[in-house]
């Protein structure tokens, strides 16, 4: 009986550590942080596989710097790519499509081409995988 209690204790302790590590509360961003600094925070969160936190950073860029079209397009791409990594293909497809629509707008010519190219590439992968899964 004592062995069972010890095993149960370690099992519960392991679950506690696991869930504490997975917890993603709201992120804290200093008021004076630049768009580049917030992007860096998002990249660090992604590197640590804290995707929900990374999304919060990229959403903060959208809110704090709506006039910075380059930063917003980058944030849009990163959020869509996170959803792609999470295999949320419907969300990712919609987000990549919305991002690509920005390039078709009159001011789209001034946007960084890399996000257009990357979005088209990932969107094609999503569409191809969805076509092959239907067969």
| pLDDT tens sequence for the chain (135 residues) | 566 566 555 555 454 444 444 456 899 999 999 999 999 999 999 999 999 999 999 999 999 999 999 999 999 999 999 999 999 999 999 999 999 999 999 989 999 999 999 999 999 999 998 887 766
pLDDT at 20: 40
State which H helix or E strand residue 15 sits in. Answer: helix 2-22
pLDDT at 5: 60
Round the CA-based radius of gyration of the chain to a whole number and report it.
20
Residue 65: Cβ-neighbour burial (10 angstroms; 0-12, 13-18, 19+): middle
- Our CA angle for 93, 96, 101, nearest 5°, is 120
Domains observed in the chain: 2-134 (1.25.40.10)
pLDDT at 16: 44
Q: How far apart are CA 50 and CA 28, in angstroms?
A: 14
Residues near 121 by Cβ (< 8 Å), separated by ≥ 6? none
């Amino acid at each position: 009986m004592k062995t069972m209690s010890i095993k149960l204790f370690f099992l519960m302790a392991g679950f506690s550590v696991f869930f504490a590590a997975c917890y993603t509360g709201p992120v804290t961003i200093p008021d004076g942080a630049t768009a580049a600094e917030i992007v860096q925070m998002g990249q660090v969160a992604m590197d640590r596989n804290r995707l929900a936190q990374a999304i919060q950073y990229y959403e903060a860029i959208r809110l704090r710097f709506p006039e910075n079209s380059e930063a917003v397009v980058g944030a849009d791409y990163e959020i869509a790519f996170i959803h792609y990594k999470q295999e949320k293909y419907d969300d990712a497809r919609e987000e990549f499509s919305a991002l690509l629509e920005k390039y078709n707008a009159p001011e789209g010519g001034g946007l960084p081409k890399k996000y257009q190219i990357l979005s088209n590439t990932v969107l094609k992968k999503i569409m191809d995988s969805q076509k092959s899964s239907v067969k």
